[in-house]
Amino acid sequence: MAKEKDKTEEKEGQEPVKPEAEEKAKKTAGLKLPFVLGIIAGVLVILILAVRFLFLPYIVASLTSEATAGESKTEDELKSEHKDNPLKEELDVFKANEKLSEFFQTGRITTNPKASTQFVVADFGIIFFPKDEESLKELYPGGKKEEGGSALPPSLSSRVRGIINSILGSMTAEELQIKRDSIPEYVMANLKPFFREKKLFIKEVILQEFIIQ
């Protein structure tokens, strides 16, 4: 009985023997994951290199040709675009001639509102751009603005003041008070045609002073 008991304990202490097929399957499964990851990494590297050396030059060339095409528009094409879209012409002028901007101050303009014995006093500042440097030279006698002189010559500044005077005089005192905030836009819209005749473009009209008394 003692011998049988010893044999039983010896068998229980020993680990069960695993089949060889099961051991091989586990080893193979352990090797598969790094192998698959290596293949995926290799494919990604190949794709990146293919895009870099095969497709990227064509993409860059295409973008460059589009940019060049946009820059190489003829003067006739630009004129056609500007004719169809005057606002685009103004934006193009602002971008090209920002350094040539001028500021004109009308000074106090006094007039009677429509059907009123009251007076309205207004002072406007006008920021404008010439179409090009040649237009700026044509604007001033002698082709150059006098140092410290007005941004507009007297013949033009008097016309501008006259247009604004007519605008203010066409509204009643009540209308002027109600529309006070929108007066600069209204003045700008009425001055634009006159400025365009002189190859000038208005960027902004500022109401610097406004009094009704």
- Are 191 and 160 in contact by the 8 Å Cβ rule? The answer is yes
Residue 4 has pLDDT above 70, yes or no: no
pLDDT of the residue at 127: 92
Is the pLDDT score of 71 beyond 50? no
pLDDT at 58: 58
| 127 exposure class (CB count in 10 Å sphere: 0-12, 13-18, 19+) | middle
> What contacts 161, CB < 8 A, 6 or more positions away?
106, 107, 109
**Per-residue pLDDT for 211 more than 80?**
yes
Residue type, 94: F
Structure confidence at residue 25 as a pLDDT band (50, 70, 90): low
Q: Is the per-residue pLDDT at 60 higher than 60?
A: no
CA 38 and chain centroid, separation: 46
CATH T-level topology, domain 85-212: Tetrahydropterin Synthase; Chain A (3.30.479)
> How much is the pLDDT for 72?
45
High-pLDDT (> 70) share of the chain, % = 56
CB 94 within 8 A of CB 129: yes
In this prediction, residue 37 has a pLDDT band, given cuts at 50, 70 and 90, of confident
- The residue-averaged pLDDT of 53-67 equals 56
pLDDT for residue 35 is more than 90: no
pLDDT, tens digit, 9 for 90 and up, residues 109-168: 999 999 999 999 999 999 998 888 787 778 877 666 766 667 888 889 999 999 999 999
